[in-house]
Amino acid sequence: MKSLSFWFAGSGGLAVRRWRSSRFAALCALFICSFSLLTLAQEGTIVGTVTDPTGSVVPNATITITSIKTGQSRTLKTNESGQYVAPDLAIGEYNIQAHAPGFKIVERKNVVLNVADRARIDFAMQMGAAQETVTVEANAVRVQTDSGEVSDVITGQQVSQLTTNGRSIYTLVNLTPGASSLQADFQTPTPVGGDANVSFNGQRPGHTIYLMDGGENLDRGGSGTFSVMPSIESLAEFRVLSSNYSAEYGLSSSATMTTVLKSGTKTLHASAWEFLRNDALDARNYFNRRPQKVAELRFNTYGFNVGGPVDFWKSDHKTFFFYNMEWRSLIQGQTLNQTVPVASEYPDANGAGTGAVIPLTKPNGKPNIITVPTGIANLGANCPGGVPPAGIVSGAPFPNNTIPSCMIDPNAAALLAAKIFPLPTSGNQFQGGNNAPTNVREEVARADHQFNDKVSIFGHWVSEQINQTFGTTMWSGDNVPTIGNTFGNPSYSAVVHLTHTISSSLLNEVAFNYNGNRINILPKSSFGAPLAAPSGFTFNRIFTGPNADNRIPTIKLQESTGTQYTANWTPWVNKADDYQIRDDISWTRGAHQFKIGASWAVYKKIQDVFASTQGNFGFNGAYTGFDFADFLLGYTQNYSEDAVHDNGHWNNASWAAYFQDNWRFNQRLTLNLGLRWDGVPHTYEANHRSSNFYPNLYNSADAALFDANGHISPLSPGLGTSPNPILAGYQFYLNGIGIDGKGGIPKGLVDNHWAAFGPRIGFAYDLTGSGKTVLRGGFGTMYERIQGNDMYNGGTNVPFSATASFNNVSLSDPHTNITTGSKQTVPIVVPSITGLASNNYNLPVSYQYSFGVQQALGAKSVLSVSYVGNQTRHQNYYAETNLVPFADLPGLVASKGAGYNQLVQFPGFRSIRLAENGANGHYNSLQLDLHANVRRDLMAQFGYTYSQAIDAASGNNGSGQDLNVITNPYVGWRYDSGPSVFDRTNVAFVNFVYDIPAFKGSSNRLLKTSLGGWQLSGIVTMQSGAPLNVTVGGSNDLSSILPTSGAGNIGNGNRPDLVGKISYPKTKVPAGIQWFDPTVFAAPAPGTFGTLPHNALRGPGRDNWNMALHKMFVFSESRGSSLEFRAEAYNMWNHTQFRADVISGNYGAALTGSNFGVITQAYDPRVFQLGLKLTF
């Protein structure tokens, strides 16, 4: 279908005549045929009315808008209502002139236009000659008289001058009323691993959408973080739209953050910089006392940029460019302190044939007399004659606490010889660095070109190359640097945006946007440990499928030694591509300013399924009483192996259309009326490699039959096979299982949503008519696009994956049961399912509303006071649906879960964990926002929020994101309804930039150079404590019997009974701070859920000061050349700020855990950063 933007461009005056002759038909055509993505304004709009001295409107007046930055102009006429609208203007400062016959020229100078701004600049004409000009200086900040939205802009001055910890844009988003953060102090300078854990108006962080130059900049599968994280030096400014904003914004039920990159100006300019950190400059953390080592920190950020006109030799510039290159180098130390086997207990450490001599004391100080295992079918099978040496008697201690050489498992000996464990550095402890070097190289390029006064285009390209190295496998919990990994993450963003001004009242925009990334994780050897199986190691895998790189297995010593390394799921690849097309029409008709658009986007993701195909061996001391001795014998208590390490190809397409009318009802009242439609079909797997459990497909007549070992019998009904050839010949229990796009199952496993209509209503009423006091408010319905992790998490469902799990097997031969000597075959396992509740999977939605007042305080300050609230519906979570009768729970706890599989609602399955969209929440707040240019040399912002956020299940899995597991599936999400993990009752912040005037204008050159040109800036944050959730744990808790799957335990998080009044002693104890009284909690009766409400406690608040002192050495004011020195301090006063929240988890959350109620973590101490920036 032909795009209307090109139809208009190609048809010229004929198109305009057709438009005038059939406006309604054209509007319908635009609405149906314009194809765009997000229709999200990355620039700004200037609107206004021209009146004469009597107050009557002046039609056909000429408005000339000239960019101070580039010198380019746009000219338009007022309509019959005396109104003009200039959309799609680049951010920056403008001079605006209005002139009409018989009137003086009126000029408004230095009008500031921010990103996504709607600036009203009215003109009151004066009678006189056209040669006369009346000049008025524009206000630095303005009351918003044309919109009821709740938003806040972070200006270029704030971006460039405020202290940003880690030089990350993530830290600046907190300078918005309604923002609540669970971020760490220091921000890793990468998108993946960066900390975007900020909630806006009580909503989940993953429901925020990020835009850059109008294009989506979002890694949907990465918990909703940036796809690329642009350098602070490349950013012009950004705006956070937090509530009831225009219908042109969508696919986010929370905030929309729109960022603009810098562009070239009419003069050539450049800068170069370097910022550095070093732990030698920093204070010690409260919990890192001497003589403990301080973790190494080296952070260098350096780069340059250049921008200006391409045709710099001309006076009339048409083309501008901006290029930014930055490198970020980080070494962030971590100290490992882990018990490891000592060299003296290695095989034949005391000479050939001497065996393994085990110390008489365990690492935990307890006696360590190892015992010869009992009930072993072939004890000493590798010894001469196939029998143990003399003196080896089952059930008796090993003579001299020594395991004979012939009894040592060959695979164990081969792995130890290959150095799978580091040797101790002192005693039986390994202490060493686990530094994780991060290197980023980022290029940002933007070009702007004006073909003529009607057509202009701009575009950007961002390339971010990220390389990281980890001494231990990331996301694994490893505690020794045996196998680490490298992490490669090239990421990209591209935008092309064309604007065509058809007439003074009609403008069309068309754009193409792209963002995507690649993640490639490869295993890396540390301390000379092998990646592939070493010499002498023999694989005897259960499955016959491929084992990537013939990797060594994962080894876990699970008793007093506790050492473990992971080699299981790497190499791992993730590829994501997001393509977006958009087209927007802006049309002014009388007092109506229409904006109409539609959208299309496609997101493609290829991601490996996490799998351990080479096997996981666990040694817990069940045979000898000591985990390392079990390992030496090769006697494994638990073994698991996955059959398949493959990937899924997930796709998602979405469509949208919107209509927005900003109606200037009269000189005091503006109405914002909009309607948005989103068509959001669910993510699906392109090759039908996904499955789900459907209760209506489960036939109770085909309920599973079990064998004596608790596995599904080969004679059971309901069995089937896999379409994966690697799994040919293996049987799966498939009763109730449906395949994506097969047999009537919809693509994406659930019904698609095509009727998400979201009305938007806002108003702005000028209370006095002076433009100084404005009542503002509105309502909006915002739908959330489900990101797709609900599909990725089901990648291991049957029949596309299989896992074999055995007890009592050998390290050298997991096929054989060491107690019976019999060969084991892969059983038909009782599978667990992670899927979707097809009968309860509506789109998450937020109903947002606000009412407030904006008041101008003089010419340079604006105060906003607002009530902001929302109601959230259909929020997602995981719920266990394959339940046993509630009355049977106490008995199952007593029997340690015996017979559980036979009692469930759907026999044949262990866990059926389905994502549901059923939870509700609400948020209410009072928000204050003061922007003040107090003086010419002082800019300040003050924000305050008093709020309450209530939701369900946030934080149950140590996260504020989506798909947390509800604690009590018998009651549902309401058991976990309570204060959100982001609920901070009070949040206040101040940020300022102060140009110290002393000696700045001194005639004494020495004084001016040394004492003048200083600047002070800072960010002060004060906030209440975050909610804390107390759990039970222990062998009598429900978590000991309820099933597990990829999303966590059902009963994990069961809360205790509250038997007293909660109090906070806040006393010092050896481990930290005893924050709350632990005696008021008691374990619930076995098989029951506790009475303590969700998130009933509160952690400590914060009082943090980040400050910077700048010194500017000016070389040439006329040429703009200078050198800036910056000294920045984070936590300036080195005030200890204890941390306890769902992210840190360091408050002894489990009732049975050590240090229950004790805070053992603090935010960062004072950290210094130094910087130099050369500008010319």
pLDDT (tens digit per residue) in 181-217: 988 888 788 887 777 889 999 999 889 999 999 999 9
pLDDT tier, 39 (very low <50, low <70, confident <90, very high otherwise): very low
Does a structural domain hold residue 21? yes
Does a structural domain hold residue 18? yes
For the segment 411-429, the average pLDDT, to the nearest whole number, is 90
Sole residue written with tokens 């404590």 = 1025
Omega prior to 571 cis, within 30 of 0 = yes
Sole residue written with tokens 């490893």 = 478
**Neighbouring residues of 535: CB distance < 8 A, sequence distance ≥ 6:** 414, 418
For the segment 58-77, the average pLDDT, to the nearest whole number, is 93
pLDDT more than 90, % of the chain:
63
Q: Is the pLDDT of residue 6 over 90?
A: no
Omega prior to 844 cis, within 30 of 0 = no
Angle of CA points 160, 493, 310, to nearest 5°: 65
Domain harbouring 118, CATH code: 2.60.40.1120
What pLDDT does 934 receive?
80
What pLDDT does 757 receive?
97
Sole residue written with tokens 């039959």 = 705
What pLDDT does 831 receive?
92
Does a structural domain hold residue 49? yes
Sole residue written with tokens 């796709």 = 651
Q: Count structural domains, the chain.
A: 1
Q: What does the alpha-carbon distance between residue 450 and residue 448 come to, in Å, rounded to a whole number?
A: 7
Q: Which phi and psi angles does 13 have, rounded to 5°?
A: -65, -30
pLDDT (tens digit per residue) in 522-573: 988 876 677 888 889 988 888 877 665 677 899 999 998 888 888 768 889 9
Q: What does the alpha-carbon distance between residue 803 and residue 794 come to, in Å, rounded to a whole number?
A: 14
For the segment 879-891, the average pLDDT, to the nearest whole number, is 92
Does a structural domain hold residue 46? yes
What is the chain's alpha carbon radius of gyration, rounded to the nearest angstrom?
33
Which H or E run contains 27? helix 23-33
Sole residue written with tokens 């490198």 = 327
Angle of CA points 577, 583, 588, to nearest 5°: 150
Sign of CA dihedral 1111, 1114, 1119, 1121: negative
Pull the structure tokens for residue 1029: 């959730």
Decide if 637 contacts 619 (C-beta within 8 A). yes
Instruction: Calculate the average pLDDT of the chain.
Output: 88
For the segment 720-728, the average pLDDT, to the nearest whole number, is 89
What pLDDT does 223 receive?
60
Can you give the residue range of the structural domain that contains 82? 4-151
pLDDT (tens digit per residue) in 109-120: 999 999 989 999
What pLDDT does 435 receive?
79
Q: Which phi and psi angles does 415 have, rounded to 5°?
A: -65, -40
Does a structural domain hold residue 885? no
DSSP 8-state assignment for residue 937: T
pLDDT (tens digit per residue) in 854-866: 999 988 899 999 9
**Helix or strand or coil: residue 13?**
helix
Please name which of 908, 975, 529 lies closest in space to residue 735, comparing C-alpha atoms. 908
Q: For residue 1109, how many C-alpha atoms fall within 13 Å in the half-sphere facing its CB? A: 7
Omega prior to 979 cis, within 30 of 0 = no
For the segment 423-449, the average pLDDT, to the nearest whole number, is 89
pLDDT tier, 4 (very low <50, low <70, confident <90, very high otherwise): very low
Q: Is the pLDDT of residue 797 over 90?
A: yes
What pLDDT does 222 receive?
65
pLDDT tier, 15 (very low <50, low <70, confident <90, very high otherwise): very low
753-766 vs 737-739, strand pairing mode: unpaired
Sign of CA dihedral 1051, 1057, 1061, 1064: negative
- Which range, of 222-236, 527-541, 858-872, 1032-1046, averages the lowest pLDDT? 1032-1046
What pLDDT does 729 receive?
82
DSSP 8-state assignment for residue 345: G
pLDDT (tens digit per residue) in 77-114: 999 999 999 998 999 999 999 999 989 999 999 999 99
Question: Which of 9-23, 162-176, 1004-1018, 1122-1136 has maximum average pLDDT?
Answer: 1122-1136
pLDDT (tens digit per residue) in 329-384: 999 877 788 889 999 999 999 899 999 999 999 988 899 999 999 999 989 888 99
What pLDDT does 958 receive?
55
SS3 per-residue string spanning 565-632:
ECCCCCCEEEEEEEEEEEEEEEEEECCEEEEEEEEEEEEEEEEECCCCCCCEEEECCCCCCCHHHHHH
Does a structural domain hold residue 277? no
Q: What does the alpha-carbon distance between residue 160 and residue 237 come to, in Å, rounded to a whole number?
A: 9
- Which range, of 39-53, 798-812, 981-995, 1086-1100, averages the lowest pLDDT? 39-53
Which H or E run contains 878? strand 861-880
Pull the structure tokens for residue 892: 């199952």
Decide if 672 contacts 147 (C-beta within 8 A). yes
Pull the structure tokens for residue 1052: 């994990």
Please name which of 670, 548, 614 lies closest in space to residue 120, comparing C-alpha atoms. 670
Does a structural domain hold residue 174? no
pLDDT more than 70, % of the chain:
92
